[in-house]
Amino acid sequence: MKSIENIRHSLAHLLAMAVKQKYPEAKLGIGPAIDNGFYYDFDFSGSAPKAEDLAKLEKDVHALIKKNIKFEPEEISVAEARKIFADEPYKLELIEELEKAGQKISIYRSGDFVDLCVGPHIGSTEEIDPQAFKLDRLAGAYWRGSEKNKMLTRIYGLVFATKEELAEYIEQMAEAEKRDHRKLGKELEIFTFDDDVGPGLPLWLPNGGIMIEELENLAKTMEARAGYVRVRTPHIAKEAMYLKSGHLPYYEESMFPAMEYEGGKYYLKAMNCPHHHKIFAVRPRSYKELPLRLAEYGTCYRHEKSGELFGLMRVRSMQMNDAHIYCTEDQFASELKAVNDLYLKYFRIFGIEKYIMRLSTHSPTKLGQKYVDEPELWLKTEKMVRDVLTEAKIPFVEVADEAAFYGPKIDVQVWSAIGREFTLATNQVDFAVPKRFGLTYVDADGQAKTPLCIHRAPLSTHERLIGFLIEHYAGHFPVWLSPIQVKILPISEKQMAYAQEIYTELLANDIRAELDDSNESLGKKIRGAKTKKIPYLIIVGEKEMADKKITVESLAEASQTTTMAEFLADLQTKIKNRD
């Protein structure tokens, strides 16, 4: 059956054919189809292709397409497979795993080329539109995603149903490159990384610090209105707590190694929830106190692999908009709905129009290994979450075998202004760990009962959210979030005293302002301010000084001459409304 996935997968094989023809000593890794095309991993023993060689490889693939090569499946024995792939160490490793698992060995023949593959593929290359295909880029990738293995060369290809879709995607990627949060984050002096500090450990510059404060203020305001109370917890804890929570058995690979201290082991905090459970347990609780909503912007540390670090989107140190809601089973539906409503409010503030919730459920075959062994509670809790999403008419999809170890989770997928998809935040339902911590409340009937716990982080982490917002806004942040909201540009030294008065008045009204007192021309001052994407420029010349007025320029509005009082009132309204 012809499908875009089959075409993408088949083109991966054609690329491998072209590579083996041009680089006979190259060893084959894997080549799956992905959302926008495919990739194939190669081990080049000699000279590897460079970016400028991709155009020639692409022509070689086009030549193969014209030959109307067929894709023919075949099941073979392990012995035959070892013979065919005798010179392919990575394929031999896969064959050994398949043999141990008792699985059949499947190959696909394409002319003289053979690859270890279960398919599916298209019938022949005549089904491929060569104009809807393009080799995209090179990257490094560890074999099987493990840093312990060799770094291979990964070649990415773009494949779409039509050449128009391909052109649209390439245009979108060009725009995304302009909006790359790593590039803009440096240009706008928001964050940096330093080798002496360590990979994945961002340093927030003053502009980034301002953005963090604004986002925290937003969260604190919204959460206070929703009945949350704020707590603070330390950055480390003893091994015993993480053993009790279950995080060490299930999550240890994602935690930094233990520190030996005073005869015991301490771990950097990878999650806030066990600390919050301890706060809940500080004294006996009554049902009258529930729901109890504990919130914290807690700093957590994750031992992410070096090859998976990516700007602010994948880091090792993160400040999480975390909260844990302890509630009764009867309160669960309304609490989860309130959490979803909070997401929708944030989406409106940030202009996020497209989103979907991704409900991750457990796998019954992995109970006791990947998931806590509570089959009835899994089914019951998953139904509870599903019912809330359905009743609230929240768009969602279900994905099996991706839940948290202690309960179902909801990943929030959002799309930026240019249509790029991001995993922004997560909700998790915990029916297991509160019991491990002995958390109870006394119900109206006088009986001790264990609360349910909802983990939620609507604003994700500062790192991931700010990375998303940089790309979403292309650095042109709304005025309430902009590190510098106004820049004052006197035309000459003669207006400096008046410009200073304006600057002082803005600061007195809590407006983040800068005064350009350089000797540069006005044109250069304006260009410099626009490069920094400052929302409002106040230009002060002789006429403005004489009339006690200001000329205001912005990207969103036409230039206008007004009074400071009028400008200030309008600006304060925009900031208050978070426009």
Phi and psi at residue 490, in whole multiples of 5°? -70, 140
Task: Please give the model's pTM, rounded to 2 decimal places.
Answer: 0.84
d(CA 356, CA 412): 6
Residue 405 in contact with residue 248, Cβ under 8 Å? no
**What is the pLDDT, as a whole number, of residue 477?**
97
Of 156, 6, 32, 22, nearest to 94 (Cα)?
Answer: 32
Q: What is the pLDDT of residues 310-332, one digit of tens each?
A: 999 999 999 999 999 999 999 99
Assess if CATH 3.90.1560.10 describes domain 186-237+268-473.
no
Q: Which residue intervals of the chain bear CATH 3.30.980.10?
A: 4-178
Helix (H, G, I), strand (E, B) or coil at 118: coil
Which amino acid makes up residue 105?
I
Residue 189 in contact with residue 207, Cβ under 8 Å? yes
Q: What is the pLDDT of residues 165-174, one digit of tens each?
A: 999 999 988 9
**What is the pLDDT, as a whole number, of residue 572?**
97
* Burial bucket for residue 544 (CB in 10 Å: 0-12, 13-18, 19+): buried
pLDDT band at 5 (very low <50, low <70, confident <90, very high): very high
> Please, what CATH class does the domain formed by 486-576 belong to?
alpha beta
Q: What is the pLDDT of residues 373-401, one digit of tens each?
A: 889 989 999 999 999 999 989 899 999 99
pLDDT band at 148 (very low <50, low <70, confident <90, very high): confident
Report the percentage of the chain scoring pLDDT > 70: 100
Q: Two tokens at 99? A: 């043999």
Residue 321 in contact with residue 342, Cβ under 8 Å? no
E strands of 218-311, at which residues?
A: 229-230, 236-238, 259-261, 264-268, 292-301
Whether residue 130 has a cis bond before it, omega within 30° of 0 = no
Q: Which residue intervals of the chain bear CATH 3.40.50.800?
A: 486-576
d(CA 155, CA 57): 10
Strand partners, 360: 399, 409
pLDDT band at 55 (very low <50, low <70, confident <90, very high): very high
Side-chain half-sphere of 369: how many Cα atoms within 13 Å? 6
Candidates 3.30.980.10, 1.10.1760.20, 3.40.50.920, 3.40.1710.10; correct CATH number of 4-178?
Answer: 3.30.980.10
453 is in an annotated binding site: no
Phi and psi at residue 167, in whole multiples of 5°? -60, -40
Q: What is the largest CA-CA distance in the chain?
A: 93
Q: Two tokens at 522? A: 């006005």
d(CA 439, CA 379): 22
**What is the pLDDT, as a whole number, of residue 557?**
79
| Contacts of 301 by beta carbon, 8 Å cutoff, 6+ apart | 235, 255, 256, 268, 269, 270, 316, 317, 318
Phi and psi at residue 470, in whole multiples of 5°? -60, -45
d(CA 473, CA 470): 6
The count of residues in the chain is 579
Mean pLDDT of 248-268: 91
pLDDT band at 251 (very low <50, low <70, confident <90, very high): confident
- Strands lying side by side in the sheet with 264-268: 236-238, 264-268, 259-261
**What is the pLDDT, as a whole number, of residue 1?**
42
Neighbours of 178 (CB within 10 A): 12
Which amino acid makes up residue 434?
P
pLDDT band at 206 (very low <50, low <70, confident <90, very high): very high
324 is in an annotated binding site: yes
State the first-to-last Cα distance of the chain, in angstroms, to the nearest integer: 50
- Average pLDDT over the chain reads 94
Mean pLDDT of 75-91: 95
**What is the pLDDT, as a whole number, of residue 2?**
61
